[in-house]
Amino acid sequence: MGVQASVNAQFIKPAQNRQRDWLPYMLALPIIIYEGIFILIPIIQQFGSSFTSDIIGFGAAKGVGLANYERMLNDKFFWNSLRVTLGFMAATVIVAVGAGVLAAVLMNQRFRGRSIARAVMTLPWAFPDLPTVLVFYWILNPSFGIANVFIRFFMPWLTENPKWLLDINLAMPLVVAIASWKAFPFYGLVTLSVMQSIPQELYEAAKVDGANTRQAFRYITLPALLPIIMLSGILACIFAFRQFVLIFLATGGGPGRVTETLVISLYKTAFRSFDFSYGATIGVSGFVVVFVITLLFVYLQHRQEAEAAR
């Protein structure tokens, strides 16, 4: 690169000793203001609303203290939706990130038609949410869906079509599958990009040392990928928590309440039962839970980075 380390050292050291550097703050400020206007102020308003009783058809909002939170702690549906959310998050993280990593490994191989395969394998990322639900709903129609043809081909002993999204036991796995179908290409691309940045010399050196492909993967690729896998996990968690359109249109939280995540429950409470204050309570609480989980992830990631740096 033609940069001398000595120049580098000369330049940086005095700069650090000088007065505080304002540039990062100037850069960050517009973003903080921007996010403040569109997200933080509204969320604070909602937080306030969780201490009121604010239901359409029952006059202006009244302060009720912690009553909503008390109700929530005794609300079995809240606990159910918390369980469902955590289950959905865990399952999508595993399936989507797992499929993404596998896809990245495949896309990183040299083979004929790789560029076409790469485009096709990542296509769902570009496929919008609404058409995704539409077409999966149609594929999985218990009466006319093409999925019945496939399942009967592989399981010819079935006497009747599965109920797919209407089946208590199948609904959640299917929703996870649909959400993962849509999400995995992103994690695949991110992982692939890191894979391609691993210096080829490392593999060559390993080969010289007598390592086989599997060992090279285990000792070179995987450690290099761990940070990106962790980050993908965090993002997958966040996106799974926020997932609305896919679940809402595919199952509406049903059958029963097996796919009723916190966001679905919040939406139903606020926009179908008109109980905005309790909806806000559910939303704020769910947010806190997920925030804690994410912090845990971030902490783990930091520790891991620190270890790697050592």
Partner 1 sequence: MTDQNAPKKTNEKKNISRRDFLKITSTATAGAASAIVPKISFPAFLRQTKMELNFLTWFWTETGRNDAWRAMIQKFHDSQSDIHLNETGYGENNYFTQILIQAKSGRIDADLYTATPDVFLRLLADGHTIPLEDVVAQAGVTPVAAQDMLRKDGELHGLDIVTVRFGNLYNKALFDAAGLGEPTSIDEWVAGAQSLTQRPNQFGFFSPHIAAEPFTVWFILQQWAVLYDGVWAQGKTPLLTSDPVINAIKLFKTMYDTTMPQGTDFGTANQMFASSRIAQHLVVSPAVNQWKSLATDTELYDNLRSAQPFWPGGKAISRIHPVCVNANTDPEKQAAAKEFLAWLYTKENYQELLERCLDVVPAIEDGIRPEYHDSLKWVSGYDAATAITVPEVLGDFVLYNDELGQIVTPHLQEVLAGSKSAEDAMTEAQTEAEELAGRVFTS
Partner 2 sequence: MSNQQAIATTASSPGILLLRWIRRIPLYVLVLLFCIITAFPIYWMVVSVIQPVEYSLNYPPPLYPLAVDLSPFREIFQAENNLGRIDYWIGNSIVLSSMTTLICLFLTVLGAYALAGKRWRGQGLFGLLLLMTQMLPEALIVIPLYATLDKLNLKNNLFVLALVDTAFILPICIWILKNVFDTIPNEMRDAAMVDGCTRMGVLWRIMLPISTPGLVAVGVVAFFHAWNEYLFAASLISNKEIYTAPVGLAAMISMVDTPIDRLMAGGLLFSIFPLIFYLLVQRYVVAGLTAGAVKG
Interacting residue with partner 1 among 254, 293, 294, 301 (CB under 8 A): 254
Which of positions 15-34 make contact with partner 1 (CB under 8 A)? none
Q: Is 101 exposed, middle or buried (0-12, 13-18, 19+ CB in 10 A)?
A: buried
Give the x-and-dash track for 30-59 against partner 2 (CB under 8 A). Answer: xxx-xx-xxxxxxx-xx--x----------
Contacts of residue 289, Cβ cutoff 8 Å, sequence gap at least 6: 82
Q: Beta partners for 52?
A: 63
Which of positions 214-273 make contact with partner 2 (CB under 8 A)? 234-235, 238, 241-242, 244-245, 249, 262-263, 266-267, 270-271
Compute how many residues bind partner 2; rule: CB under 8 A.
100
Mutual angle of helices 276-309 and 262-271, in 10-degree steps? 160
268 binds partner 1 (CB under 8 A): yes
256 binds, among partner 1, partner 2, none (CB under 5 to 8 A by kind): partner 1
Which of positions 62-91 make contact with partner 1 (CB under 8 A)? 71
Task: Report, in Å, the least distance between residue 251 CB and partner 1.
Answer: 5
Nearest C-alpha neighbor of 265 from the set 86, 280, 250, 290:
280
271 binds partner 1 (CB under 8 A): yes
- What is the rounded distance in angstroms from the CA atom of residue 157 to the CA atom of residue 150? 13
- What is the rounded distance in angstroms from the CA atom of residue 134 to the CA atom of residue 173? 18
State the Cα torsion 106-110-115-116 to the nearest 10°: -70
116 vs 208, beta carbon nearer partner 2:
116
Interacting residue with partner 1 among 139, 166, 224, 293 (CB under 8 A): 166
Which of positions 110-149 make contact with partner 1 (CB under 8 A)? 137, 140-145
Nearest C-alpha neighbor of 263 from the set 283, 277, 280:
283
250 binds, among partner 2, partner 1, none (CB under 5 to 8 A by kind): partner 1
Nearest C-alpha neighbor of 191 from the set 258, 104, 84:
104
- What is the rounded distance in angstroms from the CA atom of residue 138 to the CA atom of residue 164? 11
Compute how many residues bind partner 1; rule: CB under 8 A.
35
100 binds partner 1 (CB under 8 A): no
* Span from 19-27, 177-185, 226-234, 266-274 in contact with partner 1 (CB under 8 A): 266-274
